[in-house]
Each structure stands twice: as C-alpha cells, then as structure tokens.
C-alpha cells in the first residue's frame, strides 16, 4: 500500500480508502452480508488500508433513513479490537438537520452506533448550497468548534457535489476545514468542482478525498467498443479499473480515493493497484482524454455547462437537469442518473418547473432549445414516484 499526507491534518492515509456504502447485502440494501463484509474489511486492513468511510444513511431502507453501515463498522472494529488502528471517517446528515440541537443528537447517535468516543474525521455530508446556508444559520461552525475542543471529532470537513465557486466560498468561511470530499474521475474533470476544486484544495492545504472514482462502476462495466479500441492502443495495457484509479493517483492534488467495494475480489484487485506505482506516460494521458471525449459523444445534448443561461428566473437548475440527462445517455445507466437527478436537484428546480417562457434562449452559447430539452429530460426521468 502507498500512503499520502492528508492536507494539513498531519495524518498519513492509505491512498485507497475503504468506502462502506456498497457492502455486499443479502435480501435488501439494509441487510449487510456481515460475514463477507467482515472478510473484506479484514483483508483491506491487513493489507494496508488505514481509513474507513461511512455515513449515517448508508445501507438504510430509505434514502433518509438510519443506516446499518455505521453500526456494522462499529461492531467490526470492536470485535477485532481495531478501533485505534483505523482512521474512522463519517458524516453528519446535513439535509436532516432542522434545529441546532440536531447536530449533537446525530453525532451522539453515530458515536453510539460506531461504539467509539470519537471519530477521526467528521464531514458535513453532501452539502448543497441551500443546506450550507441552512446549517450556517443554525450555527454549524460553533458546533464544529465544540466537537473539536471536546475531542469527539479530530478533524472536520465536508463532502459535496457543488460547483467550484461555492466550494471556494464555503472553504473560505472557516479556517478549520481540513478535509473535503468531492467527486472526481477522468470524465468529471470539469463537472461539479472538478479539477479547479482540487487545485484550490491543494493551494489551501485542505486534504482531498475522492468519491465516485469509477462513477459507481460505470467506467469499468459494459465498456463501449469505441472506448475499448482506444484502450487497446495504449503504450501500457491496463484494465479499466487500473485506468480509472491510476489516473487519480497520478494527480498530485489527490490524497485519498474512496472505493465502495462490494466483494473480496474487488478489495484484492484495488489494493494491488493501490500498491503499484504506475506513472502514466504523456501518450497514455492523451489517450485518457480521448476516451473521455469518446464517452461524451454519447451525450444526449450539447450543453457544455458554461452557465450563461443561469439563473433561470423560474428557478430551474438548467445545467444540472441537462447534465444528468447527458450522463444517463453517456453511461447507459438511467437508474443511477435518476438517483442523482432526484437527490441532487431540489423539487422546485427540476425540469418540470420550466414554464417555457424562453427567457433563457438568447443566452445559450450552444443554441440549445432549452425548454424543449427540459421537456425531454422530464419525459426521460419521469417523476420521483417512478423511481423510489
């Protein structure tokens, strides 16, 4: 295993972190196959992984529920006497916070589930811009100060899918942020906070943790022929998993990559890759860019996310509606994109809020008929009821 310094935390983290949101299950998502999951965690730790990521809702029945991932991780660490060997990383469910006291209520419940007195890293989970303003009004920064001084939490940060401007705004408001988790893979360099976000994290010495390195497995399953032909031209032959992970570990602004692993075989494979120094040549780096360009040819519309059409006077999140539609076409996984569409975009900002006023049309740099595209997005994803 290879290790990196995590920003200014003083921690050394394995460059592969163990994500526990996709553990093997038996009958339902809430029903973790504990024997298989324990074997995976044990192998991971014995082979150098020193950080585990979990969160309040992972492995719950509903999206806002109290999940079993934290409970399982807590039991595993206790039974194997591993708590002090591992950096434990969990997250406050920011969307569930309604009043100031809720911060403490959830943290105490999480510590109980995890069977520990402290967590090493505590993030505000999946922070959206409205949730950031909400928790700020509820004095979240005072709560974080108290967590740090009481020792219940050693380092604080946030995870988010927001755009880079908001990421920077939040980072600049609190000098004690030490860790941020963002989505990154070779397709997402300019999606959400992307490479610009990573660049800023490096500049301010905040540890960078990566989620979705394989885009939920979509960069490694059902590889289109056009993409495979490109991989076959590489100077160094790699598997799709190696391409995706080594792309990240070739970046000097990435500290730790979390992979949500589902089988022991995946753990073994990822550890082997994480233990190998594999410098990607300039030719192969260009090939990765070509693969990304090829995936983009499968897009559903031409939106470049330039943002000139925003804000919509009626509150439609034009960029993310068109983007999730694009991703669904590009990656061929409509269910996963629907999940993103309905969880990342607020009720009032989805495609069905467009009233066809056409005020955005003159601003589109790609001459997209935006209301028409939004109608397609609406027809494609349907209503939330169809999916959950």
Smallest gap from residue 310 Cβ to ligand SF4 (A)? 7
Question: How near is the Cβ of 89 to ligand SF4 at its closest, in Å?
Answer: 34
CA distances from 117 to 13, 105, 114, 288 (A): 21, 14, 9, 44
Q: How many CB atoms lie within 10 A of CB 55?
A: 23
Binding positions for ligand SF4, rule: CB under 6 A: 303-309, 312-314, 316, 318-319, 322, 354-360, 363-366, 368, 370-371, 374
Least distance to ligand SF4, CB of residue 303, Å: 3
- Closest approach, Cβ 349 to ligand SF4, in A, equals 10
């069977």: which residue's tokens? Answer: 115
CB-nearer residue toward ligand SF4: 11 or 377: 377
Phi, psi of 13 (to 5 degrees): -115, 145
**C-alpha distances in Å from residue 153, one per residue of 109, 113, 307:** 14, 15, 38
Q: Which is nearer to ligand SF4, 150 or 365 (CB)?
A: 365
What's the token pair of residue 148?
């740090």
Nearer to ligand SF4, 294 or 304 (CB): 304
Work out how close the CB of 283 gets to ligand SF4 at its nearest, in angstroms, rounded to a whole number: 31
Instruction: Give the contacts of 142 (CB within 8 A, at least 6 positions apart).
Output: none
* Cα 258 from chain centroid (whole Å): 9
165 vs 142: CA distance, rounded Å: 24
CB of 371 to ligand SF4, least distance (A): 4
Q: Residue 229 or residue 358: which is nearer to ligand SF4 going by CB?
A: 358
Q: Tokens standing for 331?
A: 């990656």
Smallest distance, ligand SF4 to C-beta of residue 361, A: 7
Q: By C-beta, is 319 or 327 nearer to ligand SF4?
A: 319
Other Cβ atoms less than 10 A from the Cβ of 218: the count is: 20
Question: CA-CA distance, 67 to 100, in Å (whole number)?
Answer: 22
Is residue 126 within 8 A of residue 159, CB to CB? The reply is yes
Tell me how far, at minimum, the Cβ of 321 lies from ligand SF4, in Å: 9
Q: Encoding tokens for residue 357?
A: 């006023």
Which lies closer to ligand SF4 via its Cβ, residue 202 or residue 329? 329
Shorter beta-carbon distance to ligand SF4: residue 244 or 374: 374
Q: Is residue 197 a contact partner of residue 171, using CB atoms and an 8 Å limit?
A: no
**Can you tell me the distance from the alpha carbon of 332 to that of 291, in angstroms, rounded to the nearest whole number?**
16
Q: Which is nearer to ligand SF4, 110 or 323 (CB)?
A: 323
């Amino acid at each position: 295993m290879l290790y990196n310094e995590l920003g200014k935390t003083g921690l050394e983290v394995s460059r592969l972190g163990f994500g526990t949101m996709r553990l093997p299950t038996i009958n339902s998502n809430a029903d973790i196959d504990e024997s298989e999951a324990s074997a995976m965690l044990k192998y991971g730790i014995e082979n150098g992984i020193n950080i585990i990521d979990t969160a309040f809702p992972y492995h719950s029945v509903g999206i806002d529920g109290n999940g079993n991932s934290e409970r399982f991780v807590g039991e595993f660490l206790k039974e194997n006497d591993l708590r002090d060997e591992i950096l434990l990383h969990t997250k406050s469910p920011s969307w569930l916070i309604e009043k100031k006291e809720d911060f403490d209520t959830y943290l105490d419940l999480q510590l109980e589930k995890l069977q520990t007195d402290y967590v090493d890293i505590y993030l505000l989970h999946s922070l959206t811009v409205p949730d950031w303003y909400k928790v700020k009004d509820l004095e979240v920064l005072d709560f974080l100060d108290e967590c740090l001084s009481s020792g219940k939490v050693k380092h604080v940060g946030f995870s988010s899918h927001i755009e880079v401007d908001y990421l920077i705004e939040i980072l600049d408001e609190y000098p004690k942020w030490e860790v941020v988790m963002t989505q990154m893979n070779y397709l997402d360099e300019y999606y959400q906070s992307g490479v610009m976000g990573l660049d800023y994290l490096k500049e301010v010495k905040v540890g960078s943790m990566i989620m979705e390195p394989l885009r939920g497995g979509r960069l490694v399953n059902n590889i289109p022929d056009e993409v495979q032909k490109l991989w076959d031209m590489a100077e160094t032959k790699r598997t799709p998993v190696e391409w995706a992970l080594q792309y990240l570990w070739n970046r000097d602004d990435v500290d730790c990559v979390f992979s949500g692993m589902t089988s022991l075989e995946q753990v073994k494979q990822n550890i082997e890759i994480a233990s190998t120094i594999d410098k990607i040549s300039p030719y192969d780096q260009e090939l990765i860019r070509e693969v990304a360009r090829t995936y983009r040819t499968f897009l559903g519309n031409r939106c470049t996310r330039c943002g000139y059409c925003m804000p919509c006077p009626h509150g439609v999140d034009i960029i993310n509606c068109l983007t999730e539609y694009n991703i669904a076409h590009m990656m061929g996984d409509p269910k996963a994109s629907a999940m993103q569409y309905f969880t990342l975009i607020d009720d009032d900002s989805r495609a069905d809020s467009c009233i066809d006023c056409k005020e955005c049309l003159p601003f589109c740099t790609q001459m997209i008929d935006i209301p028409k595209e939004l109608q397609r997005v609406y027809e494609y994803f349907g209503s939330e009821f169809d999916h959950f």
